[in-house]
Structure 1
Amino acid sequence: MIALPEIETIRRDLDRELSSLRIKSVEVMDTRVTKRSGGAKKFAGRLEKAKITGVRRRGLYLIMSLDSEDVIVAHLGTGGQLRRHANRDQTEPNTVLSITFTKSGQLRLVDGVGDAELFLANTEKLVEEVPELERMGIDPLDQPVPWRMFGQILLAQDAKLKAVLTDDRVVVGLGEMYSDEILFTAGLRYDRLTNSLGPQEVRRLHRAMVETLHDAAKHRGATLEDGHYLDVHGQPGGYEEYLNVFKQAGRNGRPCPRCHRPIQKYRFRRRWTYYCEQCQI
Protein backbone atom coordinates (compact mmCIF):
# COMPACT_ATOMS: atom_id res chain seq x y z
CA MET A 1 0.00 0.00 0.00
CA ILE A 2 1.59 3.26 -1.17
CA ALA A 3 -0.13 6.47 -0.09
CA LEU A 4 0.79 10.10 0.50
CA PRO A 5 3.23 9.66 3.46
CA GLU A 6 5.16 6.94 1.60
CA ILE A 7 5.47 9.00 -1.58
CA GLU A 8 6.54 12.06 0.42
CA THR A 9 9.24 9.97 2.14
CA ILE A 10 10.53 8.80 -1.23
CA ARG A 11 10.44 12.36 -2.60
CA ARG A 12 12.53 13.72 0.27
CA ASP A 13 15.13 11.00 -0.15
CA LEU A 14 15.34 11.36 -3.92
CA ASP A 15 15.58 15.14 -3.75
CA ARG A 16 18.45 14.87 -1.30
CA GLU A 17 20.32 12.14 -3.19
CA LEU A 18 19.68 12.83 -6.88
CA SER A 19 19.79 16.61 -7.16
CA SER A 20 22.84 17.65 -9.26
CA LEU A 21 23.48 14.11 -10.56
CA ARG A 22 23.98 13.72 -14.32
CA ILE A 23 22.54 10.73 -16.17
CA LYS A 24 25.06 8.56 -18.02
CA SER A 25 22.86 5.83 -19.46
CA VAL A 26 19.40 4.29 -19.27
CA GLU A 27 18.44 0.62 -19.56
CA VAL A 28 14.80 -0.34 -20.11
CA MET A 29 13.97 -3.98 -19.33
CA ASP A 30 10.20 -3.63 -19.78
CA THR A 31 9.04 -1.32 -22.58
CA ARG A 32 5.58 -1.02 -21.02
CA VAL A 33 6.90 1.34 -18.38
CA THR A 34 8.12 3.91 -20.96
CA LYS A 35 5.20 3.65 -23.39
CA ARG A 36 4.08 7.22 -22.66
CA SER A 37 7.50 8.49 -23.75
CA GLY A 38 7.34 7.02 -27.25
CA GLY A 39 9.31 3.85 -26.55
CA ALA A 40 12.51 2.81 -24.81
CA LYS A 41 14.98 4.18 -27.38
CA LYS A 42 13.43 7.63 -27.50
CA PHE A 43 13.09 7.68 -23.71
CA ALA A 44 16.76 6.83 -23.17
CA GLY A 45 17.93 9.30 -25.80
CA ARG A 46 16.12 12.21 -24.17
CA LEU A 47 17.48 11.32 -20.73
CA GLU A 48 21.16 10.64 -21.40
CA LYS A 49 23.47 13.50 -20.34
CA ALA A 50 20.62 15.34 -18.59
CA LYS A 51 21.12 16.51 -15.00
CA ILE A 52 18.50 16.12 -12.27
CA THR A 53 17.99 19.49 -10.56
CA GLY A 54 15.36 18.60 -7.97
CA VAL A 55 12.47 16.30 -7.07
CA ARG A 56 8.98 17.53 -6.24
CA ARG A 57 5.58 15.90 -5.86
CA ARG A 58 2.05 16.41 -7.15
CA GLY A 59 -0.17 14.09 -5.16
CA LEU A 60 1.13 10.55 -5.72
CA TYR A 61 3.22 11.59 -8.74
CA LEU A 62 6.95 12.21 -8.35
CA ILE A 63 8.37 14.84 -10.71
CA MET A 64 12.12 15.01 -11.26
CA SER A 65 13.21 18.29 -12.84
CA LEU A 66 16.01 18.20 -15.43
CA ASP A 67 18.32 20.82 -16.92
CA SER A 68 16.51 20.27 -20.20
CA GLU A 69 12.98 20.95 -21.39
CA ASP A 70 11.80 17.63 -19.89
CA VAL A 71 10.82 16.30 -16.48
CA ILE A 72 10.75 12.67 -15.35
CA VAL A 73 7.32 11.69 -14.03
CA ALA A 74 7.02 8.59 -11.84
CA HIS A 75 3.88 6.93 -10.49
CA LEU A 76 4.53 3.82 -8.41
CA GLY A 77 1.03 2.37 -8.71
CA THR A 78 0.15 -0.23 -6.07
CA GLY A 79 3.54 -1.86 -5.65
CA GLY A 80 6.34 -0.06 -7.46
CA GLN A 81 9.62 0.84 -5.78
CA LEU A 82 12.30 3.37 -6.71
CA ARG A 83 15.58 2.03 -5.35
CA ARG A 84 19.11 3.41 -5.14
CA HIS A 85 21.86 0.92 -5.95
CA ALA A 86 25.57 0.74 -6.59
CA ASN A 87 26.40 -0.16 -10.19
CA ARG A 88 27.74 -3.53 -9.13
CA ASP A 89 24.66 -4.57 -7.13
CA GLN A 90 22.83 -7.62 -8.43
CA THR A 91 19.70 -6.75 -10.38
CA GLU A 92 16.63 -7.74 -8.42
CA PRO A 93 13.72 -9.64 -9.96
CA ASN A 94 11.01 -7.40 -11.43
CA THR A 95 13.45 -4.56 -12.16
CA VAL A 96 11.92 -2.82 -15.17
CA LEU A 97 14.22 0.17 -15.61
CA SER A 98 17.65 1.36 -14.51
CA ILE A 99 19.17 4.84 -14.70
CA THR A 100 22.96 5.04 -14.25
CA PHE A 101 24.57 8.31 -13.19
CA THR A 102 28.04 9.55 -14.06
CA LYS A 103 28.75 9.18 -10.36
CA SER A 104 26.89 7.86 -7.33
CA GLY A 105 25.36 4.65 -8.67
CA GLN A 106 21.95 3.95 -10.13
CA LEU A 107 18.23 4.51 -9.67
CA ARG A 108 16.13 1.42 -10.42
CA LEU A 109 12.41 0.97 -10.79
CA VAL A 110 11.20 -2.36 -9.39
CA ASP A 111 7.61 -3.32 -10.14
CA GLY A 112 6.27 -6.71 -9.09
CA VAL A 113 2.64 -5.72 -9.62
CA GLY A 114 2.94 -4.27 -13.11
CA ASP A 115 1.19 -0.91 -12.82
CA ALA A 116 4.07 1.50 -12.14
CA GLU A 117 5.00 4.15 -14.70
CA LEU A 118 8.08 6.26 -15.37
CA PHE A 119 7.98 8.57 -18.36
CA LEU A 120 9.04 11.97 -19.69
CA ALA A 121 6.91 15.07 -20.11
CA ASN A 122 7.61 18.58 -21.33
CA THR A 123 8.06 21.06 -18.51
CA GLU A 124 5.90 23.72 -20.13
CA LYS A 125 3.16 21.26 -21.09
CA LEU A 126 3.19 19.11 -17.96
CA VAL A 127 -0.52 19.37 -17.11
CA GLU A 128 -1.47 18.97 -20.76
CA GLU A 129 0.62 15.82 -21.16
CA VAL A 130 -0.26 14.43 -17.72
CA PRO A 131 -3.93 15.43 -17.28
CA GLU A 132 -4.17 13.30 -14.14
CA LEU A 133 -2.38 16.11 -12.30
CA GLU A 134 -5.24 18.50 -12.96
CA ARG A 135 -7.90 16.24 -11.46
CA MET A 136 -6.41 16.00 -7.97
CA GLY A 137 -8.05 17.14 -4.77
CA ILE A 138 -6.39 18.86 -1.83
CA ASP A 139 -2.99 17.64 -0.64
CA PRO A 140 -2.81 17.81 3.18
CA LEU A 141 0.97 17.27 3.20
CA ASP A 142 1.76 19.90 0.61
CA GLN A 143 -0.78 22.70 0.85
CA PRO A 144 -3.26 22.01 3.66
CA VAL A 145 -6.43 24.06 3.44
CA PRO A 146 -8.03 25.81 6.45
CA TRP A 147 -10.59 23.72 8.27
CA ARG A 148 -13.50 25.94 7.19
CA MET A 149 -12.60 25.51 3.53
CA PHE A 150 -12.21 21.78 4.15
CA GLY A 151 -15.72 21.76 5.61
CA GLN A 152 -17.10 23.48 2.52
CA ILE A 153 -15.46 20.82 0.35
CA LEU A 154 -17.02 18.06 2.47
CA LEU A 155 -20.49 19.57 2.45
CA ALA A 156 -20.39 19.88 -1.32
CA GLN A 157 -19.95 16.09 -1.66
CA ASP A 158 -23.12 14.87 0.12
CA ALA A 159 -21.66 11.36 0.49
CA LYS A 160 -20.36 8.96 3.14
CA LEU A 161 -17.17 10.06 4.83
CA LYS A 162 -14.90 7.22 3.81
CA ALA A 163 -16.05 7.41 0.21
CA VAL A 164 -15.02 11.07 0.22
CA LEU A 165 -11.68 10.53 1.97
CA THR A 166 -10.67 7.80 -0.48
CA ASP A 167 -11.61 9.88 -3.53
CA ASP A 168 -8.43 11.41 -4.97
CA ARG A 169 -10.52 14.10 -6.63
CA VAL A 170 -11.43 15.38 -3.14
CA VAL A 171 -8.38 14.53 -0.98
CA VAL A 172 -5.44 13.00 -2.78
CA GLY A 173 -3.53 9.94 -1.63
CA LEU A 174 -5.15 8.86 1.66
CA GLY A 175 -6.12 5.34 0.66
CA GLU A 176 -7.96 2.80 2.80
CA MET A 177 -5.55 2.60 5.71
CA TYR A 178 -5.02 6.29 6.40
CA SER A 179 -8.73 6.99 5.95
CA ASP A 180 -9.55 4.44 8.67
CA GLU A 181 -6.90 5.89 10.98
CA ILE A 182 -8.05 9.47 10.41
CA LEU A 183 -11.70 8.61 11.07
CA PHE A 184 -10.79 6.76 14.27
CA THR A 185 -8.70 9.69 15.53
CA ALA A 186 -11.59 12.05 14.73
CA GLY A 187 -14.14 9.75 16.40
CA LEU A 188 -16.31 9.53 13.28
CA ARG A 189 -17.87 6.52 11.57
CA TYR A 190 -16.96 5.64 8.01
CA ASP A 191 -20.63 5.82 6.92
CA ARG A 192 -21.49 9.23 8.34
CA LEU A 193 -22.82 11.56 5.66
CA THR A 194 -20.65 14.60 5.09
CA ASN A 195 -23.63 16.96 5.39
CA SER A 196 -24.39 15.60 8.88
CA LEU A 197 -21.15 16.95 10.40
CA GLY A 198 -21.20 19.88 12.77
CA PRO A 199 -18.43 22.52 12.88
CA GLN A 200 -16.58 20.84 15.76
CA GLU A 201 -16.66 17.48 13.98
CA VAL A 202 -15.25 19.08 10.83
CA ARG A 203 -12.45 20.64 12.87
CA ARG A 204 -11.66 17.28 14.52
CA LEU A 205 -11.59 15.53 11.16
CA HIS A 206 -9.37 18.21 9.63
CA ARG A 207 -6.95 18.10 12.55
CA ALA A 208 -6.89 14.29 12.55
CA MET A 209 -6.13 14.21 8.82
CA VAL A 210 -3.24 16.67 9.00
CA GLU A 211 -1.72 15.20 12.17
CA THR A 212 -2.02 11.57 11.02
CA LEU A 213 -0.33 12.23 7.68
CA HIS A 214 2.49 14.31 9.15
CA ASP A 215 3.08 11.72 11.86
CA ALA A 216 3.16 8.93 9.26
CA ALA A 217 5.63 10.89 7.12
CA LYS A 218 7.81 11.47 10.21
CA HIS A 219 7.98 7.69 10.69
CA ARG A 220 8.74 7.23 6.96
CA GLY A 221 5.41 5.64 6.03
CA ALA A 222 4.02 2.19 6.79
CA THR A 223 5.09 -1.17 5.39
CA LEU A 224 2.39 -3.85 5.70
CA GLU A 225 2.51 -7.59 5.13
CA ASP A 226 2.43 -7.24 1.35
CA GLY A 227 5.85 -5.54 1.57
CA HIS A 228 5.06 -3.34 -1.42
CA TYR A 229 6.39 -0.19 0.15
CA LEU A 230 10.11 0.12 0.82
CA ASP A 231 12.09 3.34 0.81
CA VAL A 232 14.82 4.15 -1.73
CA HIS A 233 17.34 2.10 0.27
CA GLY A 234 15.07 -0.92 0.55
CA GLN A 235 14.09 -0.23 4.17
CA PRO A 236 10.52 -0.58 5.50
CA GLY A 237 8.63 2.28 7.07
CA GLY A 238 7.93 2.47 10.80
CA TYR A 239 4.42 3.87 11.08
CA GLU A 240 2.66 0.49 11.13
CA GLU A 241 3.61 0.25 14.81
CA TYR A 242 1.40 3.26 15.52
CA LEU A 243 -1.75 2.14 13.71
CA ASN A 244 -4.86 2.15 15.88
CA VAL A 245 -7.52 0.30 13.89
CA PHE A 246 -6.26 -0.75 10.49
CA LYS A 247 -5.46 -4.45 10.63
CA GLN A 248 -3.22 -6.77 8.77
CA ALA A 249 -4.49 -10.27 7.90
CA GLY A 250 -5.32 -12.41 10.89
CA ARG A 251 -5.38 -9.57 13.43
CA ASN A 252 -9.07 -8.69 13.34
CA GLY A 253 -10.57 -8.29 16.80
CA ARG A 254 -7.65 -6.57 18.51
CA PRO A 255 -9.00 -4.31 21.28
CA CYS A 256 -9.61 -0.64 20.63
CA PRO A 257 -6.82 1.42 22.26
CA ARG A 258 -9.47 3.72 23.80
CA CYS A 259 -12.37 1.57 25.03
CA HIS A 260 -10.77 -1.90 24.72
CA ARG A 261 -13.70 -3.34 22.81
CA PRO A 262 -12.88 -5.40 19.70
CA ILE A 263 -12.19 -3.46 16.53
CA GLN A 264 -14.82 -4.25 13.90
CA LYS A 265 -14.41 -4.71 10.18
CA TYR A 266 -17.06 -4.13 7.55
CA ARG A 267 -17.15 -4.55 3.79
CA PHE A 268 -17.56 -1.05 2.40
CA ARG A 269 -17.31 -0.35 -1.32
CA ARG A 270 -15.67 -3.77 -1.84
CA ARG A 271 -12.88 -3.04 0.65
CA TRP A 272 -12.52 -3.80 4.34
CA THR A 273 -13.09 -0.90 6.69
CA TYR A 274 -11.86 -1.05 10.30
CA TYR A 275 -13.49 0.98 13.06
CA CYS A 276 -14.65 1.01 16.69
CA GLU A 277 -18.43 0.88 17.22
CA GLN A 278 -18.08 2.47 20.64
CA CYS A 279 -15.67 5.35 19.93
CA GLN A 280 -16.78 6.40 16.45
CA ILE A 281 -20.19 7.97 16.01
Structure 2
Amino acid sequence: MPELPEMETYRQLLIPRLAGKAVTGVQIEREKSINVPAADFTAAVLGVRVQGISRRAKHLLFHMEQNRVLLLHLMLGGAMVWGTPEERPNRTVQVELAFGGDRLYFIGLRLGYLHLHQEEEAVRLLRKLGPEPFDPAFTEREFIGLFGQKRGYLKTALVDQSVLSGIGNCYSDEICFTAGILPQRKLDSLSEEELVRLFQAMRSTLSEAASHGGYMDIPLFKGDTLTGGFDPLCRVYDREGEPCVRCGTAIARVDFASKKSFSCPGCQH
Protein backbone atom coordinates (compact mmCIF):
# COMPACT_ATOMS: atom_id res chain seq x y z
CA MET A 1 0.00 0.00 0.00
CA PRO A 2 1.37 3.46 -0.86
CA GLU A 3 2.41 5.27 2.31
CA LEU A 4 3.53 8.81 3.10
CA PRO A 5 6.75 8.78 0.99
CA GLU A 6 4.96 7.32 -2.04
CA MET A 7 2.12 9.84 -1.91
CA GLU A 8 4.55 12.69 -1.32
CA THR A 9 6.51 11.56 -4.38
CA TYR A 10 3.31 11.56 -6.45
CA ARG A 11 2.47 15.04 -5.19
CA GLN A 12 5.84 16.51 -6.08
CA LEU A 13 5.93 14.92 -9.52
CA LEU A 14 2.34 15.81 -10.44
CA ILE A 15 2.31 19.47 -9.37
CA PRO A 16 4.36 20.77 -12.34
CA ARG A 17 2.33 18.60 -14.73
CA LEU A 18 -1.16 19.41 -13.47
CA ALA A 19 -1.18 22.81 -11.75
CA GLY A 20 -3.24 25.29 -13.72
CA LYS A 21 -4.51 22.71 -16.21
CA ALA A 22 -8.17 22.04 -16.85
CA VAL A 23 -9.77 18.62 -17.10
CA THR A 24 -10.67 18.09 -20.77
CA GLY A 25 -12.06 14.58 -20.52
CA VAL A 26 -13.33 12.06 -17.97
CA GLN A 27 -13.73 8.32 -18.32
CA ILE A 28 -15.14 6.23 -15.49
CA GLU A 29 -14.74 2.47 -15.91
CA ARG A 30 -15.68 1.55 -12.35
CA GLU A 31 -18.33 3.66 -10.70
CA LYS A 32 -17.59 2.13 -7.28
CA SER A 33 -14.23 3.96 -7.35
CA ILE A 34 -16.05 7.30 -7.11
CA ASN A 35 -18.70 8.49 -4.67
CA VAL A 36 -21.26 10.11 -6.97
CA PRO A 37 -22.88 8.99 -10.23
CA ALA A 38 -20.44 9.08 -13.16
CA ALA A 39 -22.48 11.75 -14.96
CA ASP A 40 -22.41 14.01 -11.89
CA PHE A 41 -18.67 13.45 -11.38
CA THR A 42 -17.97 14.31 -15.02
CA ALA A 43 -20.14 17.42 -14.94
CA ALA A 44 -18.43 18.63 -11.76
CA VAL A 45 -14.83 18.37 -12.98
CA LEU A 46 -14.97 18.77 -16.77
CA GLY A 47 -13.43 22.09 -17.75
CA VAL A 48 -12.34 22.78 -14.15
CA ARG A 49 -8.70 23.60 -13.43
CA VAL A 50 -6.44 21.99 -10.88
CA GLN A 51 -5.25 24.76 -8.58
CA GLY A 52 -2.90 22.67 -6.48
CA ILE A 53 -2.17 19.27 -4.94
CA SER A 54 -1.65 18.57 -1.25
CA ARG A 55 -1.11 15.46 0.81
CA ARG A 56 -2.66 14.39 4.10
CA ALA A 57 -1.43 11.06 5.49
CA LYS A 58 -1.83 8.52 2.66
CA HIS A 59 -4.28 10.73 0.77
CA LEU A 60 -3.72 13.14 -2.10
CA LEU A 61 -6.03 16.11 -2.49
CA PHE A 62 -6.45 17.61 -5.95
CA HIS A 63 -7.70 21.13 -5.21
CA MET A 64 -9.95 22.24 -8.05
CA GLU A 65 -11.65 25.48 -8.94
CA GLN A 66 -15.13 26.13 -7.55
CA ASN A 67 -14.11 24.94 -4.06
CA ARG A 68 -13.99 21.29 -5.13
CA VAL A 69 -11.52 18.59 -4.11
CA LEU A 70 -10.75 15.19 -5.55
CA LEU A 71 -9.72 13.06 -2.59
CA LEU A 72 -7.57 10.07 -3.54
CA HIS A 73 -6.68 7.04 -1.45
CA LEU A 74 -4.94 4.28 -3.39
CA MET A 75 -5.34 1.65 -0.66
CA LEU A 76 -3.83 -1.77 -1.46
CA GLY A 77 -2.64 -2.17 -5.05
CA GLY A 78 -3.57 1.27 -6.35
CA ALA A 79 -1.29 3.44 -8.47
CA MET A 80 -1.27 6.30 -10.97
CA VAL A 81 0.25 6.63 -14.42
CA TRP A 82 0.68 9.88 -16.34
CA GLY A 83 1.10 9.82 -20.10
CA THR A 84 -0.40 10.00 -23.58
CA PRO A 85 -3.12 7.66 -24.85
CA GLU A 86 -0.34 5.62 -26.46
CA GLU A 87 1.26 5.21 -23.02
CA ARG A 88 -1.91 3.94 -21.40
CA PRO A 89 -0.90 1.25 -18.86
CA ASN A 90 -1.57 -2.37 -19.73
CA ARG A 91 -3.83 -2.74 -16.73
CA THR A 92 -7.46 -2.10 -15.96
CA VAL A 93 -8.02 1.65 -15.58
CA GLN A 94 -10.80 2.54 -13.16
CA VAL A 95 -10.75 6.32 -13.69
CA GLU A 96 -9.09 8.40 -16.41
CA LEU A 97 -8.76 12.19 -16.44
CA ALA A 98 -7.62 13.93 -19.62
CA PHE A 99 -5.60 17.16 -19.61
CA GLY A 100 -5.26 18.03 -23.27
CA GLY A 101 -2.99 15.45 -24.89
CA ASP A 102 -2.04 13.84 -21.58
CA ARG A 103 -3.94 11.55 -19.27
CA LEU A 104 -3.83 10.70 -15.59
CA TYR A 105 -4.73 7.04 -15.24
CA PHE A 106 -5.89 5.63 -11.90
CA ILE A 107 -5.29 1.89 -11.77
CA GLY A 108 -5.81 -0.81 -9.16
CA LEU A 109 -8.65 1.06 -7.43
CA ARG A 110 -10.45 -2.09 -6.37
CA LEU A 111 -10.26 -0.94 -2.75
CA GLY A 112 -9.07 2.63 -3.32
CA TYR A 113 -11.14 5.59 -4.40
CA LEU A 114 -11.21 9.01 -6.03
CA HIS A 115 -13.99 10.93 -4.30
CA LEU A 116 -15.43 14.32 -5.13
CA HIS A 117 -16.02 16.69 -2.21
CA GLN A 118 -16.42 20.30 -1.35
CA GLU A 119 -13.27 21.66 0.30
CA GLU A 120 -14.88 21.93 3.73
CA GLU A 121 -16.17 18.37 3.58
CA ALA A 122 -12.73 17.00 2.67
CA VAL A 123 -11.20 18.83 5.63
CA ARG A 124 -13.84 17.41 7.94
CA LEU A 125 -13.30 13.84 6.69
CA LEU A 126 -9.56 14.04 7.31
CA ARG A 127 -9.89 15.55 10.76
CA LYS A 128 -9.98 12.08 12.36
CA LEU A 129 -6.40 11.37 11.28
CA GLY A 130 -3.48 11.57 13.67
CA PRO A 131 -0.66 14.12 13.42
CA GLU A 132 1.65 14.33 10.42
CA PRO A 133 5.17 13.03 11.15
CA PHE A 134 6.75 16.15 9.62
CA ASP A 135 4.43 18.71 11.17
CA PRO A 136 6.70 21.20 13.01
CA ALA A 137 4.15 21.24 15.84
CA PHE A 138 4.56 17.48 16.28
CA THR A 139 7.68 17.62 18.38
CA GLU A 140 9.69 14.96 20.14
CA ARG A 141 7.87 15.72 23.38
CA GLU A 142 4.50 15.44 21.62
CA PHE A 143 5.54 12.05 20.23
CA ILE A 144 6.64 10.79 23.65
CA GLY A 145 3.42 12.01 25.24
CA LEU A 146 1.31 10.40 22.52
CA PHE A 147 2.97 6.98 22.57
CA GLY A 148 3.57 7.01 26.30
CA GLN A 149 -0.16 6.91 26.97
CA LYS A 150 -0.97 4.10 24.51
CA ARG A 151 -1.14 0.36 25.10
CA GLY A 152 -0.60 -2.58 22.79
CA TYR A 153 2.13 -3.34 20.27
CA LEU A 154 4.51 -0.74 18.89
CA LYS A 155 3.84 -1.64 15.25
CA THR A 156 0.08 -1.54 15.78
CA ALA A 157 0.35 2.03 17.07
CA LEU A 158 2.70 3.15 14.28
CA VAL A 159 0.29 2.02 11.54
CA ASP A 160 -2.87 3.27 13.28
CA GLN A 161 -3.86 6.31 11.22
CA SER A 162 -5.82 7.79 14.10
CA VAL A 163 -2.64 7.79 16.21
CA LEU A 164 -0.06 8.84 13.62
CA SER A 165 -0.80 9.40 9.96
CA GLY A 166 0.94 8.19 6.83
CA ILE A 167 2.87 5.16 8.12
CA GLY A 168 2.03 1.59 7.08
CA ASN A 169 3.58 -1.87 7.08
CA CYS A 170 6.78 -1.03 5.23
CA TYR A 171 7.90 2.09 7.05
CA SER A 172 6.83 0.93 10.49
CA ASP A 173 9.29 -1.95 10.10
CA GLU A 174 12.00 0.30 8.68
CA ILE A 175 11.53 2.82 11.51
CA CYS A 176 11.79 0.11 14.15
CA PHE A 177 14.94 -1.24 12.51
CA THR A 178 16.59 2.18 12.44
CA ALA A 179 15.70 2.64 16.12
CA GLY A 180 16.99 -0.86 17.01
CA ILE A 181 13.66 -1.87 18.55
CA LEU A 182 11.49 -4.87 17.71
CA PRO A 183 8.08 -3.92 16.27
CA GLN A 184 6.33 -6.45 18.53
CA ARG A 185 7.44 -4.63 21.68
CA LYS A 186 4.66 -3.55 24.00
CA LEU A 187 4.32 0.22 24.23
CA ASP A 188 4.31 0.25 28.01
CA SER A 189 7.74 -1.44 27.99
CA LEU A 190 9.43 1.36 26.04
CA SER A 191 11.68 3.78 27.89
CA GLU A 192 11.76 7.49 27.14
CA GLU A 193 15.17 7.04 25.54
CA GLU A 194 13.71 4.40 23.20
CA LEU A 195 10.80 6.68 22.32
CA VAL A 196 13.29 9.43 21.43
CA ARG A 197 15.10 6.98 19.16
CA LEU A 198 11.81 6.05 17.51
CA PHE A 199 10.92 9.68 16.89
CA GLN A 200 14.30 10.37 15.32
CA ALA A 201 14.10 7.15 13.30
CA MET A 202 10.64 8.11 12.05
CA ARG A 203 11.85 11.47 10.77
CA SER A 204 15.07 10.14 9.20
CA THR A 205 13.49 7.06 7.61
CA LEU A 206 10.55 8.89 6.06
CA SER A 207 12.83 11.69 4.83
CA GLU A 208 15.20 9.22 3.20
CA ALA A 209 12.36 7.24 1.64
CA ALA A 210 10.66 10.35 0.24
CA SER A 211 13.91 11.68 -1.21
CA HIS A 212 14.37 8.37 -3.05
CA GLY A 213 10.80 8.14 -4.36
CA GLY A 214 9.39 5.54 -1.97
CA TYR A 215 9.30 1.80 -2.55
CA MET A 216 6.56 1.43 -5.22
CA ASP A 217 7.98 0.06 -8.44
CA ILE A 218 5.47 1.46 -10.97
CA PRO A 219 6.92 4.60 -12.66
CA LEU A 220 4.51 7.52 -12.75
CA PHE A 221 5.49 8.45 -16.31
CA LYS A 222 7.86 7.39 -19.07
CA GLY A 223 11.39 8.31 -18.00
CA ASP A 224 10.48 8.56 -14.30
CA THR A 225 13.69 7.60 -12.48
CA LEU A 226 12.56 8.69 -8.99
CA THR A 227 9.52 6.57 -8.15
CA GLY A 228 10.48 3.31 -6.43
CA GLY A 229 14.08 4.29 -5.73
CA PHE A 230 13.82 3.38 -2.05
CA ASP A 231 12.83 -0.25 -2.71
CA PRO A 232 16.43 -1.54 -2.94
CA LEU A 233 17.31 0.55 0.12
CA CYS A 234 14.81 -1.17 2.44
CA ARG A 235 16.77 -2.80 5.26
CA VAL A 236 14.19 -5.27 6.56
CA TYR A 237 10.83 -4.99 4.78
CA ASP A 238 10.26 -8.06 2.58
CA ARG A 239 13.89 -9.10 3.22
CA GLU A 240 13.12 -12.35 5.06
CA GLY A 241 16.19 -14.59 5.18
CA GLU A 242 18.59 -11.94 3.90
CA PRO A 243 21.54 -10.92 6.13
CA CYS A 244 21.02 -7.82 8.23
CA VAL A 245 23.01 -4.89 6.87
CA ARG A 246 23.96 -3.98 10.44
CA CYS A 247 24.89 -7.28 12.10
CA GLY A 248 24.56 -10.04 9.52
CA THR A 249 21.77 -11.95 11.27
CA ALA A 250 19.06 -13.30 8.95
CA ILE A 251 16.04 -11.02 8.74
CA ALA A 252 12.98 -12.72 10.23
CA ARG A 253 9.29 -12.41 9.46
CA VAL A 254 7.03 -12.45 12.50
CA ASP A 255 3.27 -12.15 12.07
CA PHE A 256 1.30 -10.70 14.95
CA ALA A 257 -1.84 -8.64 15.46
CA SER A 258 -2.95 -9.68 11.94
CA LYS A 259 0.06 -7.97 10.35
CA LYS A 260 3.23 -9.25 8.76
CA SER A 261 6.39 -7.73 10.17
CA PHE A 262 10.08 -7.94 9.30
CA SER A 263 12.93 -7.30 11.72
CA CYS A 264 16.42 -8.37 12.74
CA PRO A 265 16.42 -10.60 15.86
CA GLY A 266 20.13 -9.90 16.26
CA CYS A 267 20.26 -6.14 16.67
CA GLN A 268 16.66 -5.13 17.39
CA HIS A 269 15.63 -5.53 21.01
Report the TM-score range of the alignment, normalised by the length of the smaller protein: over 0.9
Counterpart selection for 1:238 from 211, 229, 237: 229
Question: Does the aligned pair in 1 maintain the 2:71–2:122 contact within 8 Å?
Answer: no
1:161 aligns with 2:149: no
Q: Which amino acid is the alignment partner of residue 98 of structure 2?
A: T
- The SS at the match of 2:127 is helix
Question: Does the aligned pair in 2 maintain the 1:26–1:44 contact within 8 Å?
Answer: yes
Partner of 2:105: 108
Identical columns (%): 29
TM-superposition CA deviations, 1:103-154 (whole Å, max 9, x none): 351111112x6112112101133234xx2x1221122145561111100000
- The SS at the match of 1:267 is coil
CA–CA distance in 2 between the matches of 1:167 and 1:68? Answer: 33
Question: Does the aligned pair in 2 maintain the 1:94–1:110 contact within 8 Å?
Answer: yes
State the number of aligned residues: 266
Counterpart selection for 1:124 from 120, 123, 130: 120
Q: TM-score scaled to structure 2, two decimals?
A: 0.92
Unaligned runs of 5+ in 2: none
Counterpart selection for 1:256 from 244, 248, 252: 244
Unaligned runs of 5+ in 1: 224-228
Change (3 A) 1:94 1:144: farther
Partner of 1:57: 55
Displacement, 1:93?
Answer: 2.7
CA–CA distance in 2 between the matches of 1:175 and 1:57? Answer: 16
Displacement, 1:53?
Answer: 0.7
Alpha carbon RMSD of aligned pairs, Å?
Answer: 1.8
- The SS at the match of 1:182 is helix
Partner of 2:77: 79
Change (3 A) 1:200 1:165: same
Question: Does the aligned pair in 2 maintain the 1:57–1:63 contact within 8 Å?
Answer: yes
CA–CA distance in 2 between the matches of 1:107 and 1:75? Answer: 15
- The SS at the match of 1:201 is helix
- The SS at the match of 2:235 is coil
Partner of 1:174: 167
Q: Which amino acid is the alignment partner of residue 102 of structure 2?
A: G
Q: Which amino acid is the alignment partner of residue 60 of structure 2?
A: L
CA–CA distance in 2 between the matches of 1:91 and 1:159? Answer: 42
- The SS at the match of 1:23 is coil
1:10-159 alignment to 2 at 5 Å?
10-34=10-34, 36=35, 38-90=36-88, 92-101=90-99, 103-111=100-108, 114-128=110-124, 131=125, 133-143=126-136, 145-159=138-152
- The SS at the match of 2:260 is strand
Displacement, 1:279?
Answer: 1.1
Question: Does the aligned pair in 1 maintain the 2:134–2:203 contact within 8 Å?
Answer: yes
CA–CA distance in 1 between the matches of 2:51 and 2:189? Answer: 47
- The SS at the match of 2:188 is helix
Provide runs of 4+ in structure 1 moved above 4 Å: none
Displacement, 1:90?
Answer: 4.3
- The SS at the match of 1:41 is helix
TM-superposition CA deviations, 1:203-262 (whole Å, max 9, x none): 111000110001000110013xxxxx52421655111211111225xxx22111222122
Question: Does the aligned pair in 2 maintain the 1:55–1:63 contact within 8 Å?
Answer: yes
- The SS at the match of 1:213 is helix
